[in-house]
Amino acid sequence: MLAAGSNTSAALTESGKLFMWGDNTEGQIDLGKESSALTPQEVTVGRPVALVSCGYYHSAFVTVDGGLYTFGERDSGKLGLATGQLDGHRIPQLVKGITDQVTQVACGGGHTVAVTEEDLYTFGLGQFGQLGQGTFIFEARLPRAVDHFRKGRVRQERSPEQFGLMFRTLPPPDVRTLQYLRTPAYVQPDHPLQPVPQGARCTTAFTNTGALGLTRRKRGPLRREEMRETAALWRT
């Protein structure tokens, strides 16, 4: 598995060893006080790693036993750590605000998303609606479950640096039915795309820049049947 942040890279071996290199100005590759690493350096927490994700200046990984660890820039709550943990932000620390085993994690530019068997959690910056909480929340410093996906069995997610965040429920959609947008669209770095349970799709973000293909502004999840102004839809 590979992951890349703003100026960092990460590689995960089949045996669960995590290697990171690049920029370490905020401690996002667990290299102590060193500013950067020119070659891959192993990151360890005493157990194998199953998943890794890199944001602009923070990183996160999930161990094989479902523990979520975050490190790097501590501003705006993107690490999801308790106040007493923030002084050690340059080393991976367990996110204690999620008690269930984490199955997926994705880092955006200034926020983080994590999935358990039952819930989806977001924390960090939310000024564009990227936390999916439905109301204006500038930031969330601790993990908070998104009500829209409670018991929703979200399967996987992705929050790459310059793309949207997409979730899919079981069973996964047939990607051959995806339709291209007829008009150009730019997706904000922290803009998420999210599905609603079984067969429906929704999206949540700040629509002022047209990232959703809409001509009106709305915060919180938007179901497909509401998306009458979009240029493309999923067919189910």
pLDDT for residue 138? 87
pTM of the model: 0.67
Asked whether the CA dihedral 162, 28, 123, 75 is positive or negative, the reply is negative
Q: What distance in Å separates the CA atoms of residue 106 and residue 140, rounded to the nearest whole number? A: 16
Domain assignment present for residue 188? The answer is: no
Domain assignment present for residue 192? The answer is: no
Domain assignment present for residue 74? The answer is: yes
Containing structural domain, residue 16:
2-161
Indicate the number of domains in the chain. 1
Identify the CATH number of the domain in which residue 79 sits.
2.130.10.30
The residue among 191, 100, 81 whose CA lies nearest residue 141 is 81
The residue that leads in pLDDT, 178 or 54, is: 54
Q: What distance in Å separates the CA atoms of residue 224 and residue 55, rounded to the nearest whole number? A: 29
Domain assignment present for residue 210? The answer is: no
> Model confidence over 5-56: pLDDT tens digits?
999 999 999 999 999 999 999 999 999 989 999 999 999 999 999 999 999 9
Domain assignment present for residue 146? The answer is: yes
Domain assignment present for residue 44? The answer is: yes
Domain assignment present for residue 147? The answer is: yes
Tell me the residue length of the chain. 236
> Model confidence over 123-153: pLDDT tens digits?
999 999 999 987 778 899 999 999 888 765 5
Domain assignment present for residue 225? The answer is: no
> Model confidence over 72-129: pLDDT tens digits?
999 999 999 999 999 999 999 999 999 999 999 999 999 999 999 889 999 999 999 9
Torsion of CA 167, 154, 131, 66, to 10 degrees: -120
